[in-house]
Structure 1
Amino acid sequence: MDRNALADFLVRHRAALTPADVGLGPGARRRTPGLRREEVAQLATMSTDYYTRLEQRRGPQPSTQMLAAIARALRMTTDERDYLYRVAGHSAPERHAVEGYVPPGLMRVLDRLHDTPAMILSALEEPLVQNGPARALFGDAEQFTGWDRSTIYSWFVHPEQARAVYPVEDHAHHGLSKVASLRAAYGTMGPRSRASELAENLYARSEEFAQLWDSQVVARRFEQHKVVVHPQIGRIEVDCQALLTEDASQVLLVLTAPPHSEDAGKLDLLAALGAQSVVGSGSDAGSGSVAGPPNWSTVSP
Structure 2
Amino acid sequence: MIKVMADVRSRELGAYLRARRDRLSPAEVGLPGGGRRRVRGLRREEVAVLANVGSTWYTWLEQGRDVQPSVEVLAAIADALRLSSDERRYLFLLGGHPDAGAPSSWERAGARLQGLLDNLSPHPAVVMNPWFEPLAYNASFRFMIDDLEALPAADRNCAYLHFTHPDWIAGHSDHEQECAAVVAKLRAYYGESVTDPAWEPLLGRLRAESPLFVRLWDQADVSTDPGRLKRIRSLHVGNLSVRNTTMLLEENLRARVVVYQPADRTTEERLQELANRIARGAIDGPAKVRRLRPAT
Q: TM-score range by the shorter chain?
A: 0.5 to 0.7
| Structure 2 runs not aligned, ≥5 long | 1-83, 86-99, 292-296
Equivalent position of 1:203 in the other structure: 207
Q: How far has the Cα of 1:150 moved from its partner?
A: 0.9
| Structure 1 runs not aligned, ≥5 long | 1-77, 80-93, 283-287, 291-301
Pick from 183, 188, 213 the counterpart of residue 187 of structure 2. Answer: 183
Equivalent position of 2:258 in the other structure: 253
Mapped partners of 1:279, 1:207: distance in 2: 37
Checking the alignment, whether the CA contact within 8 Å between 2:127 and 2:134 is kept in structure 1 is yes
Structure whose CA Rg is larger: 2
Q: How far has the Cα of 1:232 moved from its partner?
A: 4.0
1:124-163 aligned within 5 A:
124-145=131-152, 147-158=154-165, 160-163=166-169
User: What is the one-letter code of the residue matched to 1:164?
Assistant: A
Equivalent position of 2:97 in the other structure: none
User: Which deviations, in whole Å up to 9, do the C-alpha atoms of 1:101-150 show, x marking residues without a partner?
Assistant: 68446445324213222222221112222212222323333344554111
Q: TM-score, normalised by structure 2?
A: 0.54
Percent identity over paired residues: 25
Equivalent position of 2:248 in the other structure: 244
Distance change in 2, residues 1:224/1:176 (3 Å):
closer
User: Which deviations, in whole Å up to 9, do the C-alpha atoms of 1:213-242 show, x marking residues without a partner?
Assistant: 111112234543222112242112223222
Checking the alignment, whether the CA contact within 8 Å between 1:132 and 1:275 is kept in structure 2 is no
User: What is the one-letter code of the residue matched to 1:198?
Assistant: L
Equivalent position of 2:224 in the other structure: 220
Secondary structure (helix, strand or coil) at the match of 2:219 reads coil
Checking the alignment, whether the CA contact within 8 Å between 2:133 and 2:157 is kept in structure 1 is yes
Q: Which has the higher contact order (CA 8 A, sep 6+)?
A: 1
User: What is the one-letter code of the residue matched to 2:262?
Assistant: A
User: What is the one-letter code of the residue matched to 2:203?
Assistant: A
User: What is the one-letter code of the residue matched to 1:134?
Assistant: F
Secondary structure (helix, strand or coil) at the match of 2:259 reads strand
Q: TM-score, normalised by structure 1?
A: 0.53
Distance change in 2, residues 1:178/1:238 (3 Å):
closer
Checking the alignment, whether the CA contact within 8 Å between 2:237 and 2:270 is kept in structure 1 is yes
Equivalent position of 2:286 in the other structure: 280
Q: How far has the Cα of 1:208 moved from its partner?
A: 1.5
Distance change in 2, residues 1:147/1:174 (3 Å):
farther
Checking the alignment, whether the CA contact within 8 Å between 2:145 and 2:167 is kept in structure 1 is no
1:63-78 aligned within 5 A:
none
Secondary structure (helix, strand or coil) at the match of 1:116 reads coil
Distance change in 2, residues 1:147/1:191 (3 Å):
farther
Q: How far has the Cα of 1:271 moved from its partner?
A: 1.1
Equivalent position of 1:121 in the other structure: 128
Pick from 86, 109, 114 the counterpart of residue 116 of structure 2. Answer: 109
Distance change in 2, residues 1:155/1:264 (3 Å):
closer
Secondary structure (helix, strand or coil) at the match of 1:124 reads coil
Checking the alignment, whether the CA contact within 8 Å between 1:166 and 1:229 is kept in structure 2 is yes
